[in-house]
Each structure stands twice: as C-alpha cells, then as structure tokens.
Structure 1
Amino acid sequence: MSALRVAVVGLGWVGTHRHLPWLKRRSDVDVVGVIDHTPARVERAKSLFRITEGAVAEGPHAVHWLDRVDAVTIATPPATHFSLAAAYLQAGKDVLVEKPMALEVDQARELGDIARREGRILAVVHNFQFARSTLRLRKLIADGRLGEVQALWGSQLSNPRRRLPEWYESLPLGLFYDESPHFFYLVRALLGANPEIEVVHVVGGKDGRNTPAAITLLMRAGSIPAQISMNFVAPVSEWHLTVIGSRALAVLDVFRDVLVVTRNDREHLGRHILRTTADVMTSHLGGVARSGALNFMGRLAYGNDVVIARFVEACRTRVPPHDMSAVDGLEVVRLQHDVIDHARVAAR
C-alpha cells in the first residue's frame, strides 16, 4: 500500500510541534510539503523536517505541487479554519483541521456539507481524549471500576503569562473560544452523551478584554451533571477533569497526561484518609515520572499520535473517524455558541 501523501498548512507552534512531528513518525505517511504565508517559516520547516516542497500561499490555488498531495492538515488560527478547510476540500483533498472547526455554527455545518458533497474526509483535532491517561480513564469507566458515575467536574487555571497565540483576543470570549473545545469533547467522550448547557456565569475581564476573568458552566450529559470552571487570571496553569464515581474518584491531570485514582474514603476516618492520601501520592508521582520520561524522549503525544492514526485510516477506508469527525466538530462549535448565547442573555 502506498503512503498517504500529506501537506501541512500553517507552520506556527502547533504545526511544527504537533502536526509535523507525529506525521513524520509514520511510515505510511509521506509529508510532501509545507505551506504558510510567511517565507521564513516555510524555509525553516523544510530544513528542520527535511521536506522537499514548500509554498508561500494563502490557499490551495497558489500551491503548484498540490496535485501530488492526497490530504492536508490545517494548523492555522481559528479565524482561517473555515475558508482554508473549504478551499482544500473543494480542491479534492481530505482535511484534518485544528479545533475549533469554525467560528460559527453555520460555518461548521457548511464544512460538513462540503465534505459530503465532494466525497472527502473532514476530521478535527480533538486530541486529549486519546491521551494515555484519558484512554485509561475511559476504560475504568467502561469496566465499572469507578462505580456508577455521579458527576463530572472540570477546572482550568490559566496564567496569562504563559505561551499564548497572538490572535486569541480576537475570538468570541477570547481564550475561552480557543480552549473550551477540549473540555466539550472530553465531556462527550467520558460521559458518552452530548451535554446541554444549563447555566453560564461569566466574570468579565479587565480593560474591556474579550477573554473573561473567569467562566463557570453547568451542564448535563444525559442524567449526569457536569461543571466546568475556567479562570484566566491565575498565577499558575493547571487543567484537571474529575470523574466522581460511587466507588472511586478519578482525576485527569491534562497538562501532565497523568491519571490519579483514589478509592471511596468510606467513613472518612484517619486510616481512610491515609489510604486515599497514599493512593493520590503514588498514582500522581508515578504518572509524572512516566510522562516526564516520555517528554524527555519526545514521545509525549497528548493523543496527537492517535489523531493522526485515525485520520490516516479514515483516508484509506473513506469512513469518517469516530470521535473526531465533522459531526463531532460541529457539536463542539454548537456548545461553544450555546455558552456565548447564554452569556449574552445574562449580560442584558
């Protein structure tokens, strides 16, 4: 079987630290070329990843070697996702686009329509649901190891001084719009249902910024309540997702790709507290050691390896990839705009 011929569009941090490294690791993928609007980025990526072709272009029509490509991955800012994905789909290419799939629900729906009309695969990078720790958590839930799932609680602390894209303030609700897709697809994956937004509380940011100081979401996936709290003015950056079961508690440390599991502490007596403390310490320290070793070796994938594998398989079989298809991307954008609509109503 011949290799899938791929081009990477967008050579910022995500393109060069997520798309290209994991594409280049696969023997069944041939990275034919790279595309960006900045000449220096194109030349740097060609040199760093030993790629022959490069193009300085805003769309497919200026890429003279595009006929040698089967698929593209798009790692550009969100405001460009709709136009670029539509253009490459209409140029006859399968497309893997970064989250969020689009800035508007109608745009996301139209992309799915274009893909179906053109007979192309359209997939979205919903990577953390395939990270090592998340896959382990999903298995614990499926096997009943946590007992009956009672609730889900997520929290994000974001330090505004960390490495952030220059364009995030131009998005609806700023950084929320860029990062909330991760929470929404994780809730869908872990609880096995589409959540519905019930309550949105927004604490406005300073100086008229689009990014709020904090935002809290209450939602329900089937019969299971879920709460997400995001704070964008914290002195540290942390990201945790907790699944509360009747028998055990599981905490997903997203940034470290670590899963912490502790048993029910029963009557909360001293011996029970010591036991849960030991559970937390051993599982977290062991997880950090494993993730640290993988990070040192350049193999901490955060699920991007699975995303690429599923996209390649979808291009081969012509079957949309489960959990990261155009339908999944549309549902995430719909949830984002449900939040925006709730916030607007509350602000009146």
Structure 2
Amino acid sequence: MLKIGIVGFGYIAQHGHTPFYKRGESVQVVGVADCCEARLSLAKEYFPDAKFFLSAQEMFQELGPALDVVDICTPPSHHYSLIAEALSSGYHTICEKPLVTDLGQMSELFRLSQTSARLIYPCHNYQFSPAVRMIKSFIAQDYIGTPQRVVIRTCRPTHAKGVAEWRPDWRRQREHAVGGILMDHGPHSLYLAQHFLNHLPLEKVSCNIGSFGGNDFNTEDTAQLEVMYEQGAQAMIYLSWASTYRTTKYLIVGTHGYIEFTDDMLIVSNADQRFMLDSKAEVNDPSHHNWYKSMFIDFQEKLAHFNDPVALLPLLEAHSVVAAISAAYASATRMGEWTTVERPAAKAQQS
C-alpha cells in the first residue's frame, strides 16, 4: 500500500486524481497540503483519515517515513522546488505537467533523482487515453506504414479555470503559470507527437505565439509550432484559448495511410480499407479522471523497476517536452526562427 501526500488540492487533484485514490486500489492518501484553508476543508471531506497542512514542508516534516509518494498538483512555478524538497525528504514524486519550466531545472532533476534514488514521474496522462492507445495500436499493427507527419490541433474558447477559492485565472498569470497555452497545452501535444512518431528524437522547432482573446492577461493564448524530428518526420501543432469552439484533433500520416481523430471519433484509412470508430476518449472532460488509473499503474511499474533503464523513460520524455518548449519560446522571440532542441545526456531504451 503506497502512502500518498497531495500538494495542491485544486481542480485537477480533486477531480482528476482523487477519484482513483478514493477507490483505495493499493494507495492511501495520508496527507494533503494546500495554502488555501478553504481547499483543505474540502479535502477533509474526501480524506477524513488524512492529515492536513498549509505547506508541503510541514507535511514532509510531520509525516516523515509515513509517506511514500508526493503527488504535486500546484501551478508550474512551484514544481521544481517541491520536487527537489520531496526527493531530499526521501519521497518518490508524481507531478503535473509541465514537470519544470526550464532546462537548468531539468538537468538538476536528473541529478537529484540519481543521488536520492527516487523516481520522478510526470503526469503525461493523455498517452493513457483510449483514443491514443487505439492510435498507437493501429500504428504498431502497420495500418498506415511508417508515421511521417503529425498534426495536432487543440482549440478552446478560454483557458481551463482553476478553483474559485484560489486564483481561478492562474493559467494566464505568468507568476504562477510561467507561460500561457504553450506551457499548458504544449506538453501534451509534444509528447503525443513523439509517441505517434515512434519516439523519434526532436531536432528543431519554429514557433509563433500571440494573444487574440481581447483580455489583459500577461501570457499568450495562441501558439503555432512546427517541429522537425530525425529521419525527416514533422509535426504541426496549433493551440488556442481564443477559439469560438472546443475541439481536439490529431492527424497521423504514414507511408501508406493515415489516422484521423476528431474529439471522440477515429478514422483509419489506407489503400485497402477505411473505417470509423468511437474511441470513447472523453477528451472534453477536463478532469480526465478515467485516464489516471492507467497512468498510476504505469508509475507503479516504473517504481518496481527503478534500477532498470525503463524507469528513466518518463523523465527523458519530460526533458524532450521542456527542451522543445524552451526552444519554442526562444523561436517566438525571433519571429519563428528555427531553433535547435537540446537533447538530454542520459539515455534509455524506449519500450
């Protein structure tokens, strides 16, 4: 039974992670930390037997070895310091995306994970959705040949709101989110593109960003990226919080076919056949709570094989995401100039 401590009991902790934890499948939440007393009061309704704290530091100090895993659900500006403190306190960590916000922090996390012998696991939960699993299965079965091009389009009429009790617009405030939609939705799009392209390494990125929603926020609400990978593969990613509608679209083009996903509908087409499926992906549920169990099982598997190279894969994937986003922001300051994506020094075998 893994003992869990949650840091940050906002929307995603309450609606995305808690439904799985409440089922008690090999886990028990023993502590919750949040700087907002109103959120702690709500957390007590879900976990009456847990202990509650106004800071992660208080939770780490009081619970000590009674805690195994820290689940970090705060805004990105706090991720690095909380992960570092959790590791130094002897805890494995699960952390919402983006894992961290710059490559200096990313390099330090590789070192801290090694010296503390503790796992760092990013919440890259979209890869565990039914739609993405179906797409990867069709690719593995050679329905479309070798994937060569990916197009990802994520349109929303506004940003996802946080809880009313604490800064509901934090995703648009640089001091908390560090960036805008590129920092928020960019990670999902980038790791999905790499999965669809069979984990080809990223080479360079071109990006333009802007704000078109007519508001006073200090972060971007729209981003367009072109990404180049080894072997000439490409990805086009369009992200917007200024759309008139909500939709999620993926297109994966291979050497002899394509897969198209629009919201929950999936089309697979090649020279011999064309068929449509309902993926039941529930992409319009912002909590994505039905994907968390599969992700947590993967976390447990990585934890069980901590000394094997496979346990490093999530951290390497997070590095690719952070490196690509860093390069994208740099590119945007130079009017979309192609910018090299830094690669991690560590290596692991993709599964």
TM-score by length of 2: 0.82
**Paired amino acid for 1:330:** H
Alpha-carbon distance between aligned partners in 2 of 1:330 and 1:148, rounded to the nearest angstrom: 25
Mark the CA change 1:59 to 1:321 in structure 2 (over 3 Å): closer, same or farther: farther
Letter in 1 for 2:330: D
Larger Rg: 1
Residue 207 of structure 2 aligns with which residue? Answer: 200
Where does residue 184 of structure 1 map in the other structure?
190
Query: What CA distance in whole angstroms lies between the structure 1 residues aligned with 2:217 and 2:288?
Result: 34
Unaligned ranges ≥5, structure 2: 163-167, 338-351
Tell me: CA distance 1:86–1:161, structure 2 relative to 1, closer, same or farther (3 Å): closer
Of the structure 1 ranges 30-39 and 318-327, higher mean CA displacement relative to structure 2 is found in 318-327
Residue-by-residue CA offset, 1:206-247 (whole Å, 9 max, x unaligned) = 566443353221112222111111222111121211101344
Structure 1 residues 147-226: aligned runs within 5 Å: 147-160=145-158, 163=161, 165-169=168-172, 170=174, 171-191=177-197, 192-205=199-212, 206=214, 209-222=217-230, 223-226=232-235
Q: Which amino acid aligns with 2:269?
A: R
Structure 1 segment 41-56 matched on structure 2, within 5 A: 41-56=39-54
Give the percent of matched residue pairs that are identical in Structure 1 and Structure 2.
Answer: 22
Quickly say closer, same or farther: Cα 1:163–1:209, change in 2 above 3 A: closer
Secondary structure of the corresponding residue to residue 325 of structure 1:
helix
In structure 1, the residue matched to 2:34 is 36
Q: Deviations over 1:24-75 (max 9, x none)?
A: 3352112212111122212211212444322221425664123311111111
Distance between the aligned counterparts of 2:21 and 2:310, measured in 1? 17
Could you tell me which runs of 5 or more consecutive residues in structure 1 were left unpaired when the two chains were aligned.
267-274
**Deviation sequence 1:107-149 (CA, Å, 0-9, x none):** 1221221111111111111110111111111111111012332
Counterpart Cα distance in 2 of 1:60 and 1:241: 43
The correspondence for 2:109, drawn from 111, 116, 123, is 111
Q: Is the 8 A contact 1:311 1:321 kept in 2?
A: no
Residues 93 and 213 (structure 1), Cα distance of their counterparts in 2 relative to 1, 3 Å cut: closer
Aligned to 2:317: 328
1:345 aligned residue? 334
Distance in 2, matches of 1:249 and 1:323, equals 31
Q: Which residue of 1 aligns with 2:343?
A: none
Structure with more of its chain in helix, by fraction: 1
| Count of aligned residue pairs for this structure pair | 323
Q: CA offset at residue 78 of structure 1?
A: 0.4
* Structure 1 residue 202: Cα displacement: 2.9
Deviation at 1:347, TM superposition (A): 8.0
SS of structure 1 residue aligned to 2:98: coil
1:25 maps to which residue? Answer: 23
| SS of 2:101 mapped into structure 1 | coil
Counterpart amino acid of residue 314 in structure 2 = S
**201-210 or 16-25: bigger deviation:** 201-210
- Summarize the alignment of residues 1-348 of structure 1 with structure 2, pairs less than 5 Å apart: 3-60=1-58, 63-160=61-158, 163=161, 165-169=168-172, 170=174, 171-191=177-197, 192-205=199-212, 206=214, 209-222=217-230, 223-253=232-262, 256=263, 258-264=264-270, 279-280=275-276, 283=277, 286-287=278-279, 290=280, 301=289, 303-319=291-307, 325-346=314-335
Deviation at 1:181, TM superposition (A): 0.3
